[in-house]
A and B are shown apart, each in its own frame.
Chain A
Amino acid sequence: MYDIVVVGGGVIGGMILRELTRYRLNVCLVEKENDVCMGQSKANSGIVHAGFDAQVGTLKAKFNVLGNRMMPKVAKELGVKYVNNGSLVVAFSDEEVKTLEQLKQRGEQNGVEGLEIIDRQKLAQIEPNISGKAVGALLAKSGGIICPYELTIAAIGNAMDNGAHLETNFEVVKIEGEYPEYLLFAADGRQITAKAVVNCAGINSQKIANLVGDEYFTVGGRRGEYMLLDRESGDLVNHTLFFTPTKLGKGILVSKTVDGNVILGPTAEDVDFNDTSTTSQGLNSVAEKAKAMCDNVPFYNVITSFSGVRAYCDRHDFIIEQSPQKRGFFHVAGIESPGLTSAPAIAEYVVNELIGGLFELKPNQNFNPNREPDYFFKNLTAEEKNKLIKSNPAYGKIVCRCEQITEGEIIRALTVNPKATDVDGVKRRTRAGMGRCQGGFCQPYVAEIIAKELGVCLCDVTKSGGESKLLTGESK
């Protein structure tokens, strides 16, 4: 029996899992998909927000500001890229400049440091491609960017290196018992028992709550569509650019990513279920808004478009609490934006304040907070590269030419925690297939390496688990 089982392998579940392994606890994470990080944590903007957006006194405000401060260290430990590029809320009218003043005030009340309102001239200086219609901006120096799936995968991998277990394809459909013995049933009949449960199921967190009779909050899905530009256009912007929030909504953002691409999006559209398909209206709207923000947006350099469905909650704040009627059952639900930024702070709070109220937190002497990055070869020196190729020639074979990812890194992604088992899993860990040709060249090679390492037929390799086999059989 586990001490604690975490339901949901997104950034919240992942960071909580890692935090739990700092202590001598027997922990497990269950994820309904074939891989971790398959929900909103894999398809969001990747922004480390400064913390001026959330209403004063909310959990969002508290954890955002804390998480923002924690992120550089967490990223460093986990071998994840983090860039403190700063963010700008851009105003297009005097009316909007007034809103910036309010945002600045709110941010300062929330404890955000380094907020400054800048004029058109300075804005144009630091963002040469900003629209001629922009009149000023709120500069938040503590704003940053991170890769959300890199962070999530690294957190779960690090937790596993420190003793945590992972069960994938474990869709929780029934929960019985109570503290200190919960019994979780998977759709395929597997069972897990644990003394306590943490519900981090993202868009499905209401479903999980309902399984133990908690029906006091509602979680819905909101779809956001994005476009991604080639690294060649990576210098379109330096900061993360937001529109000034108006009664009509927040608009989209235009930002560099830690890998040097530019991300445009997201739209916001309520959807009934987890429909992550893109729409032509959505993509057109992203393009229109990006054009309003920046001049010279190089749409010819779009390499892909995608969408994610993010959870939103009728409480309009994070739900981080013990079930009112089920001891040892914790809900970490409705974690909408700024959830990614808040994740490290939420994890620390959940473990210290909530789990700590139930379990004695004895430090795990063997806890190692550090993890090696999943791809790294191209950043090594010539000498280091040669040393590595000598010991393992697979590092001398480039498989993904767009991102310069080696066979060695791909094999590694299939063998280190949490092990990739499908093409998208390899892609999220190594970036093989994320470049300008979008896997057109390397996919057959990646699939072959997967087949070989997993000891399966090439025709059984999937894109992302389930029924997503790449091939339908042998040719004649």
Chain B
Amino acid sequence: MKEFDVLIIGGGPAGLAAAISAYDNGAKSVCIMERDNRLGGILNQCIHNGFGLTRFKESLAGPEYADRFVKQVETRNITVMLDTTVLSLSGEKTVTAISPDRGYFEVKAKAVVLAMGCRERSRGALNIAGARCAGIYSAGTAQKYVNVKGFMPGKRIVILGSGDIGLIMARRMTLEGAKVVAVCEIMPYSSGLRRNIVQCLDDFGIPLYLEHTITKIEGKDRVTGVVVSKVDENRRPIAGTELHFDCDTVLFSVGLIPENELTKNAEIPLAKNTRGAIVYQNRETLCSGVFACGNVLQVHDLVDFVSEESELAGRCAAEYAIKGISAKGGVNVVNGKNVTYVLPQKLDLDLQSNGLIKLYFRVSGAFRNCVIALSCGDKVIVQKQKKIAVPGEMETLVIPKDKLSLIDGDLTLTLEA
């Protein structure tokens, strides 16, 4: 059986950055397994720009951003297996995979990096009533048809959900000559980036209906219209508020779910709030030597942060493979008041790590002039002021090195409005 120092599952932005970093940090044999016929993952269909503003200080299209990493992979001695789907992973870090060239095969790795990304929540998961005809797509599927296959999924569109993919697709469909008649959002705020609301909806005069949801899809062979209702504070439709829109297409942009089937089958514990693995600050899961990064771990807003997190995971995977450095024990980091999740969920304070510990988290509502605090019992370890915090934008908090010695138990992260 072939053995690698570091095996990376997924060749999207997370896998690419992890592979480069693992290699550069001394892993002698690194392999990426990618189920598609090319590297780059979802970036290949994201032809809009805005990628890389943080990392490269320039605005790149998705494929351009991916290409910078693919080129770096190509200049290193990294094994890339395309058209290769990983079917299972064992706690002993044996991976079973399948591909047309190699058949059904197993490889072993000293360290594994999970970088499978996420999938879109489907219409079926929402129990939206009505027809199940042609013209109902998740926003990402529509994006694939338009940007990769070169075909239009419809001409007159209603979009449910104002996440970033929904907003991007509202603009994309408009530029392609389709009419986007409404974007509906069940919450009182958009979960997308502010810049996307402005650039994708406002600039094109596309109406955003906050606190509205689709309550019925009409059509027989093809969608002919939707009924949209206002919702109350419990997100339940209010009778008598129905609006009707004629349309031939409904796009759903209603959330992303980390794709953790392999993780679950390997019995690696997941966090309920992120639906990703529970990890230490080095992105090691509770299965020693298995690391996770990118959207399979937590759904990021910006690919720049995916790259950053994946470089950390790749480096730590190499350190595990070469030096056996592994996280264990430690304290828990718990999300407290007004915080929906915090990651990493565990800190091993004895772990040899040459980086700062940075916490990633999301807040549960829209807040102004708030205080974010990390405390250990009665002690406040770190705190910072925020002018605006919204669920659509991931927040971070760095724990300075000199504060680490104050930690003697589990930590709680809270937001006071």
State the A residues within 8 Å of B (CB). Answer: 227-228, 232, 276-280, 282-283, 302-306, 382, 385-386, 389-390, 393-394, 396-398, 401-402, 404, 436-441, 443-444, 448, 458-459, 462-464, 466-476
Contact = CB atoms under 8 A, between A and B. Distances in A.
B174 to A, nearest CB: 11
Contact of B149 (A279, A386, A444): A444
A277 B100 contact: no
B98 A385 contact: yes
Contact of B120 (A304, A437, A473): A437
B155 interface: yes
Contact of A468 (B102, B130, B222): B222
Contact of A389 (B104, B119, B138): B104
B132 A306 contact: yes
Interface string B286-328: 0000000000000000000000000000000000000000000
B152 A473 contact: yes
B240 interface: no
Contacts of B83: 396-397
Contacts of A232: 264
Contacts of A462: 134
B129 A278 contact: yes
A37 to B, nearest CB: 16
Contacts of B147: 475
A97 to B, nearest CB: 34
A284 B71 CA distance: 52
A277 B215 CA distance: 12
Closest 6 CB pairs of A and B: A304-B124, A393-B100, A396-B100, A467-B221, A438-B122, A468-B134
B149 A458 contact: yes
A322 to B, nearest CB: 35
B125 interface: yes
B291 to A, nearest CB: 21
Contacts of B230: none
Contacts of B130: 277-278
B221 A283 contact: no
Interface string B121-157: 0111101011111100110110011111111111100
Given A393-B101, A401-B35, A476-B177, A471 B152 contact: yes
B355 interface: no
B87 interface: yes
A440 B141 contact: yes
Given A389-B100, A393-B101, A401-B35, A305 B149 contact: no
A467 B119 CA distance: 29
A441 B148 CA distance: 13
Contact of B99 (A228, A283, A396): A396
Contact of A398 (B98, B101, B150): B98
Nearest to A378: B87
Contacts of A443: 141
A444 B35 contact: no
B129 A280 contact: yes
Contacts of B338: none
A278 B144 CA distance: 28
A79 to B, nearest CB: 22
A89 to B, nearest CB: 27
Given A389-B100, A394-B100, A473-B152, 7 more contacts: A303-B122, A303-B125, A396-B99, A397-B83, A401-B85, A438-B123, A472-B248
B129 A458 contact: no
B176 interface: yes
24 contacts: A302-B127, A303-B124, A303-B125, A389-B103, A393-B100, A393-B101, A396-B99, A396-B100, A398-B98, A401-B35, A402-B261, A437-B122, A438-B122, A440-B119, A440-B122, A440-B137, A440-B138, A444-B145, A444-B148, A462-B134, A463-B133, A466-B221, A470-B145, A471-B152
Contact of A475 (B103, B151, B237): B151
Contacts of B222: 467-469
B140 A440 contact: yes
Interface centre among B101, B104, B140 (most CB of A within 10 A): B104
Interface centre among A227, A393, A448 (most CB of B within 10 A): A393
Contacts of A306: 132
Interface in B60-107: 83, 85, 87, 98-104
Contact of B100 (A278, A397, A468): A397
Nearest to A303: B124
A278 B215 CA distance: 11
A456 to B, nearest CB: 13
Contacts of B124: 228, 302-305, 438
Contact of A279 (B129, B137, B175, B177): B129
B103 A390 contact: yes
Nearest to B124: A304
Interface residues of B, number: 55
A398 B35 contact: yes
A77 B35 CA distance: 35
Given A440-B138, A473-B151, A475-B152, A386 B221 contact: no
Contact of B150 (A404, A468, A475): A475
B237 to A, nearest CB: 8
A475 B133 CA distance: 22
A463 B132 CA distance: 10
A304 B123 CA distance: 8
A471 B151 contact: yes
Nearest to A386: B103
Contact of A472 (B122, B129, B154, B175): B154
Given A303-B124, A386-B104, A397-B83, A475 B99 contact: no
Contacts of A283: 127, 129
A472 B131 CA distance: 19
Interface in B237-275: 237, 248-249, 261, 264
A472 B98 contact: no
A293 B145 CA distance: 43
B140 A280 contact: no
Interface centre among B175, B221, B237 (most CB of A within 10 A): B221
B101 A474 contact: no
B87 A305 contact: no
A440 B35 CA distance: 16
Contact of A463 (B98, B134, B176, B216): B134
A385 B176 CA distance: 44
Contacts of A436: 119, 122
B176 A476 contact: yes
A459 B129 contact: no
A282 B127 CA distance: 11
Contacts of B102: 396
B101 A396 contact: yes
Nearest to A466: B221
A444 B144 CA distance: 8
Contacts of A463: 133-134, 221
Contacts of B101: 393, 396
Contacts of B146: 475
A382 B104 CA distance: 7
B99 A472 contact: no
Contacts of A402: 261
A400 to B, nearest CB: 10
A279 B227 CA distance: 12
A7 B141 CA distance: 38
Contacts of B148: 444
A463 to B, nearest CB: 4
Contacts of B134: 462-464, 467-470
Interface centre among A283, A398, A459 (most CB of B within 10 A): A398
A476 B175 CA distance: 9
A440 B126 CA distance: 14
